[in-house]
């Protein structure tokens, strides 16, 4: 089964308080998105599509520099998300790059630099055992504040993800949370992705809504729970960047 990857890298990252694209902020002197590419480099990925938006030329230049230094044959393409209306839209703009492709499409985040290649490989291995069932990657946190909670049915299939601001008191006690990483079967998933709507306060298309769409159609959606939360830490501010640097490198 072929392996494909989309990396979401379109955002500005307003909390970084910088005019630099979020994914180009550096951890120990290296751009965050380069860490993600390093983890993919030896996994036999058939194609990587990087979704760009804010200051796209800077991101393209940085990625192309990584490619020329690390692996000139690495199959990278760029998809533009001009309006940047959420993660669901970001994945949808990549559809033309996967016309007639069949396999597993991992959705990774350009601001989650600590994910290891072994972990990414494990997602693909799970997907291979059930190639038509989409996966959301979850983790358990002692303090899940701020994260979307994973809601499961009695058969352990995922029913939906509820964001903290929308969660009831009982739902807030759930410690299994969304990492933002998905593995989706293509081409089957595209028709479901196109059903995502932007009827929310932000007027954005959320990738997490795909889970509820599958549920309404009585189709299974699995969650794969991983053990090391540090790998899935998204960096949203300079303070977080410095904190991660201290934790990893001392």
Residues marked as catalytic: 15
Name the helix (H) or strand (E) containing 248. helix 238-249
Own/partner pairs, 13-20, CB within 8 angstroms, 24+ separation: 13/111, 13/236, 15/236, 15/237, 16/236, 16/237, 16/238, 17/238, 18/238, 19/55, 20/55, 20/58
Alpha carbons 66 and 43: distance in angstroms, whole number: 17
Structure-token pair, residue 143? 């303090």
Neighbouring residues of 3: CB distance < 8 A, sequence distance ≥ 6: 43, 44, 45, 46, 103, 104, 106, 124
Residue whose structure tokens are 């089964």: 1
Q: What are phi and psi of 201, to 5 degrees?
A: -65, -25
Residue whose structure tokens are 């058969």: 155
Alpha carbons 31 and 25: distance in angstroms, whole number: 5
Neighbouring residues of 150: CB distance < 8 A, sequence distance ≥ 6: 136, 138, 158, 161, 174, 176, 177, 178, 223
Alpha carbons 196 and 95: distance in angstroms, whole number: 14
Q: What are the Cα distances from residue 76, in Å, to 36, 48, 66, 91?
A: 13, 5, 11, 16
């Amino acid at each position: 089964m072929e392996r494909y990857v989309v990396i979401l890298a379109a955002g500005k990252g307003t909390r970084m308080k910088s005019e630099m694209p979020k994914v180009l902020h550096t951890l120990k002197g290296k751009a965050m998105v380069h860490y993600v590419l390093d983890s993919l480099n030896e996994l036999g990925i058939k194609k990587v599509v990087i979704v760009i938006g804010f200051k796209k030329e800077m991101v393209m230049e940085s990625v192309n520099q990584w490619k020329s230094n690390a692996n000139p044959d690495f199959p990278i393409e760029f998809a533009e998300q001009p309006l940047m209306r959420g993660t669901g839209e970001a994945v949808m703009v990549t559809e033309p790059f996967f016309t007639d492709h069949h396999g597993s499409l991992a959705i990774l985040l350009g601001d989650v630099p600590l994910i290891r290649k072994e972990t990414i490989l494990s997602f693909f291995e799970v997907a291979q055992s059930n190639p038509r069932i989409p996966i959301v990657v979850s983790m358990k946190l002692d303090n899940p504040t701020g994260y979307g909670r994973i809601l499961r049915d009695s058969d352990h299939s995922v029913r939906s993800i509820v964001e903290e601001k929308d969660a009831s008191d009982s739902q807030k006690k759930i410690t299994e949370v969304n990492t933002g990483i998905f593995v989706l079967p293509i081409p089957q998933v595209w028709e479901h992705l196109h059903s995502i709507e932007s009827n929310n306060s932000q007027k954005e298309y959320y990738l997490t809504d795909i889970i509820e769409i599958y549920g309404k159609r009585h189709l299974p959606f699995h969650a794969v729970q991983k053990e090391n939360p540090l790998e899935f830490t998204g960096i949203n501010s300079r303070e977080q960047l410095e904190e991660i640097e201290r934790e990893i490198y001392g």
